[in-house]
């Protein structure tokens, strides 16, 4: 990132709008190899998100979950790829 972008981020006054990013939560148990594979194949980053869980003995427990963050169309591609790869992994 250039220094002038840090001190003067793009905004309405410059005519630029910040593109909205989307998160795809990574289900617990996804192999690390698959997570790394996705970050290398797609323009996404891995981030942490706090989410409240409401199942089993976790009534409202807050946990930090991993998520892929990127542009909507890229995240949708990641979702399709992730589910296809998980299906292959489970069938092995």
User: What pLDDT sits at residue 5?
Assistant: 37
Task: Locate 13 and state its tokens.
Answer: 């006054």
Residue 28 banded pLDDT, cuts 50, 70, 90? confident
* Digit-coded pLDDT (tens) for 31-85: 999 999 999 999 999 999 888 777 767 677 788 889 999 999 999 999 999 999 9
What is the pLDDT averaged over residues 82-92?
92
User: Domains plus CATH for the chain?
Assistant: 20-91 (3.30.1370)
User: What pLDDT sits at residue 61?
Assistant: 79
Three-state SS at 21: coil
Entry pTM: 0.71
Backbone φ, ψ for residue 18 (5° rounding): -75, 130
Could you tell me if 76 and 82 are in contact, meaning their C-beta atoms sit under 8 angstroms apart?
Answer: no
């Amino acid at each position: 990132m250039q220094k002038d972008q840090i001190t003067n981020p793009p905004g309405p006054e410059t005519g630029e709008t910040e593109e909205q990013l989307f998160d795809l939560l990574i289900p617990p148990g996804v192999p690390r190899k698959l997570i790394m594979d996705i970050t290398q194949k797609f323009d996404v980053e891995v981030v942490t998100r706090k989410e409240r869980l409401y199942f089993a003995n976790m009534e409202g427990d807050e946990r930090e979950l991993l998520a892929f963050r990127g542009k909507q169309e890229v995240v949708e591609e990641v979702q399709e790829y992730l589910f296809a790869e998980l299906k292959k992994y489970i069938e092995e």
